[in-house]
């Protein structure tokens, strides 16, 4: 197995390197010191994959292939669940029924559990995002749009991982744009991007239609999340997830406008600094 050196220049040329996103690299990859530093500064998760699809993550911030462990692709855990506790009766289950599924590493619940329903919405959202990425391989507009879609697909995976592992969801980034800037751009695109608000229609073309459908799936996931994480007293139990999905929808709307600008041979001008 020959090593493939990944330099900082290679990363900048091939990825938008949004804060908190995820990179998948071949297992034989070897990061240069500057590339590793860039990844650590932006808190980017690196996963190495071998030819058989097995996934490995670094054990520390060195990001070296000599110091990795094999993990589950979703949970990043190298431990298999051992205890099988019913989420309804809190009793140990010796044989898992087909109507039960894992809620977390310890508990099993019926497949009609609200959180499992929500995960199904996330699965649908992510699967369509991957389809969109495949379709956009033939997109001839601004490259930054494809990079942004990759960042958002990565964030979708973070949402699912956060929900499954009950961990805090880090805020969304799209390239250098933080969540507040994404919110501002989506509310005043004419001022900051040079094109006014849109109501999706067929004249905008296939690319906008694809992103808009993905945005609608995000909204469905957001509604499903609100049914779980807003209690009867209107207390928000997972503001990180609800806010993240809301900003994800905004980011996709911004991309739709960027596509229209690109299709009209316009230059996509982004703010030099994040908006306050």
CATH number at residue 32: 3.100.10
Is the Cβ–Cβ distance between 182 and 18 less than 8 Å?
no
Per-residue pLDDT tens over the stretch 41-89: 888 888 888 887 788 888 776 666 567 788 877 666 666 655 566 555 5
| Residue 168 and residue 243 in one domain | yes
| Residue 214 and residue 118 in one domain | yes
pLDDT of res. 263: 92
| Residue 39 and residue 142 in one domain | no
Report yes or no on 219 lying in a domain.
yes
Dihedral angle computed from the Cα positions of residues 64, 70, 76 and 79, in that order, rounded to the nearest 10 degrees: -140
Whether the predicted pLDDT of 115 surpasses 90: yes
| Residue 244 and residue 129 in one domain | yes
Rounded CA-CA distance 179/224 in Å is: 21
Per-residue pLDDT tens over the stretch 201-236: 999 999 999 999 999 999 999 999 999 999 999 999
Report yes or no on 270 lying in a domain.
no
Which class for 170: exposed (0-12), middle (13-18), buried (19 or more C-beta within 10 A)?
middle
Report yes or no on 122 lying in a domain.
yes
Give the C-alpha distances (Å, rounded to integers) separating 104 from 12, 75, 145, 167, 201: 36, 10, 35, 11, 41
pLDDT of res. 1: 42
| Residue 90 and residue 205 in one domain | no
26 has which bridge partners? Answer: 49
Report yes or no on 87 lying in a domain.
yes
Q: Domain of residue 159: give its range.
A: 113-263
pLDDT, greater one: 171 or 85: 171
Report yes or no on 183 lying in a domain.
yes
| Residue 255 and residue 134 in one domain | yes
| Residue 58 and residue 118 in one domain | no
Q: Domains in the chain: how many in total?
A: 3
Report yes or no on 275 lying in a domain.
no
Is the Cβ–Cβ distance between 270 and 251 less than 8 Å?
no
pLDDT, greater one: 165 or 180: 180
Rounded CA-CA distance 113/80 in Å is: 22
Rounded CA-CA distance 153/167 in Å is: 19
| Residue 120 and residue 245 in one domain | yes
- What CATH number does the domain containing 138 carry? 1.20.1200.10
| Residue 125 and residue 67 in one domain | no
Rounded CA-CA distance 123/116 in Å is: 10
Report yes or no on 220 lying in a domain.
yes
Rounded CA-CA distance 205/88 in Å is: 49
| Residue 105 and residue 119 in one domain | no
| Residue 131 and residue 241 in one domain | yes
| Residue 119 and residue 155 in one domain | yes
pLDDT of res. 3: 58
pLDDT of res. 47: 86
Q: Is 79 helix (H, G, I), strand (E, B) or coil?
A: coil
Length of the chain: 276
């Amino acid at each position: 197995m020959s090593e493939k050196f990944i330099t900082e220049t290679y990363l900048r040329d091939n990825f938008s390197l949004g804060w908190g996103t995820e990179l998948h690299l071949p297992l034989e990859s070897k990061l240069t010191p500057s590339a590793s530093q860039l990844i650590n500064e932006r808190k980017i998760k690196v996963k190495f994959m071998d030819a058989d699809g097995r996934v490995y993550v670094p054990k520390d911030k060195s990001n070296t292939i000599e110091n990795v462990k094999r993990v589950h692709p979703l949970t990043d855990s190298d431990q298999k669940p051992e205890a099988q506790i019913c989420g309804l009766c809190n009793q140990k289950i010796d044989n898992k029924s087909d109507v039960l599924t894992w809620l977390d590493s310890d508990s099993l619940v019926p497949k009609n559990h609200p959180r499992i329903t929500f995960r199904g919405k996330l699965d649908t959202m992510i699967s369509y995002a991957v389809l969109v990425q495949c379709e956009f391989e033939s997109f001839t507009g601004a490259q930054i749009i494809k990079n942004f879609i990759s960042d958002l697909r990565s964030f979708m995976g973070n949402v699912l991982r956060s929900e499954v592992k009950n961990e805090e969801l880090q805020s969304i980034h799209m390239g250098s744009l933080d969540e507040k800037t994404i919110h501002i751009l989506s509310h005043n695109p004419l001022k900051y991007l040079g094109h006014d608000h849109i109501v999706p229609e067929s004249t905008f073309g296939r690319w906008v239609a694809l992103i808009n459908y993905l945005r609608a799936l995000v909204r469905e996931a957001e509604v499903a999340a609100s049914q779980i994480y807003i209690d009867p007293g209107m207390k928000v139990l997972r503001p990180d997830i609800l806010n993240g999905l809301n900003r994800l929808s905004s980011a996709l709307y911004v991309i739709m406008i960027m596509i229209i600008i690109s299709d009209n041979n316009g230059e996509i001008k982004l703010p030099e600094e994040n908006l306050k």
